[in-house]
A = this chain, B = another copy of it.
Amino acid sequence: MGQQAAASIRQVARAARVSVGTVSNVLNRPSVVAPATRRRVLAAIDELGFVRNESARQLRQGTARTIGLVVLDVGNPFFTDLAKGVEAAATEAGHAVMLCNSDGSRDRESRHLELLAQQQVHGVLMSPVEDDLSSARELAARGVSVVLVGHPAESDDLCSVAVDDRVGGEIAVTHLLATGRRRLTMIAGSPATRQCAERHAGGQQALRNAGHDPGGLEFLEVPTLDVAAGQRAAEQLLARGSLPDGVFCVNDLVALGLLQVLLRAGVSVPDDVAVVGYDDIDFAAAAAVPLTSVRQPATLLGRTAADLVIAEGAGSRHQHQQVVFTPELVVRESTGHREGRSRAPDGPAWGALLRPVHDLGGRLAAQEPEPAG
């Protein structure tokens, strides 16, 4: 098996003593070619180690069988879960997925979009870096199907699949209030980004609902949304002298970083501070103190987005859709009820405080007998 130059359809045709058109038919519409011929062609393909040249196919057909996915942070399990959903749906439809990481950078985002446009991809799924959707619209104007992920399109000229961030913020803060917390801080990125703003607004709504001053939810801004940012935020809080008694983090990475530093500093969670995260990534359940979190259906989100983009590309006349899912709260130890809780026993005592709405695949919840509330 020497390193032969890639065989072309023409050589296959010659080897099978048929025309190139027939080979193409064997490849794409096998039913129209006579069984005997088909066998002969397949044998030739096999013998020559022929691999279809996708660029040529693409060039002729005008569109690739690839969909692009541009995410904010591949390092965030939320997005890899999302990507898994996208890939599942794409594979079923015979498409490949090109996963790109914008890393929150506008520049990288537009570079990736440019590249995807050049590749004539079937469509693009993107979680936009900023609220300015002009790059998405520009791409759509060039004839590429675009679906926003995790960011509702405020007008109906684009498809979008999102989770209601306001509700997410609301249930998080409502829960903190229900466990008796009053001095609340939210840790998030720039309030200029929709997600952070919406989740914050939801939190304020929760305060209002409970008859409190919506100003009671302090906003602490961090530059990035990763573990390191959470660590730094915790250091800031610790440096102040007085801690809030409830913290709502805009995602689980931040929450995990925060948690780690708080615990290391001797702060008890949830006794001194309750912590709520967002996304409910797998690691949330495995944290130092298992993390209460607002779950978004990441895989479903990806699957839905992919289905939309595939449909939009295929369909004749397409109506843009805005799909919105509702998040749900997963309660774990990091927000254990304040009352009826002694200072800090170790080990399985935690169990008594746990009211698992969801747990890792329900495995553990199913194996431990559920204590009466």
Residues of A within 8 A of B (CB): 1-6, 49, 51-56, 58-59, 64, 74-75, 77, 80-81, 83-84, 87, 96-101, 114-115, 117-120, 138, 140-143, 227-228, 231-232, 235, 256-257, 259-261, 263-268, 282-283, 285-290, 344, 346-348, 350-351, 360-361, 363-364, 367-368
Contacts and interface: CB of A to CB of B under 8 A. Distances in A.
A364 B231 CA distance: 9
Nearest to A368: B264
A286 B99 CA distance: 27
- Report whether over half of chain A's contact residues are helix, strand or loop; otherwise say mixed: helix
Q: How many copies does the complex hold?
A: 2
A350 B264 contact: yes
Contact of A49 (B118, B119, B142, B227): B142
Contacts of A1: 138, 141
Nearest to A54: B118
A263 B2 CA distance: 56
Given A54-B120, A364-B231, A6 B84 contact: no
A12 to B, nearest CB: 15
A106 to B, nearest CB: 15
A10 B176 CA distance: 63
Contact of A290 (B3, B80, B231, B260): B260
A363 B230 CA distance: 12
Contacts of A265: 347-348
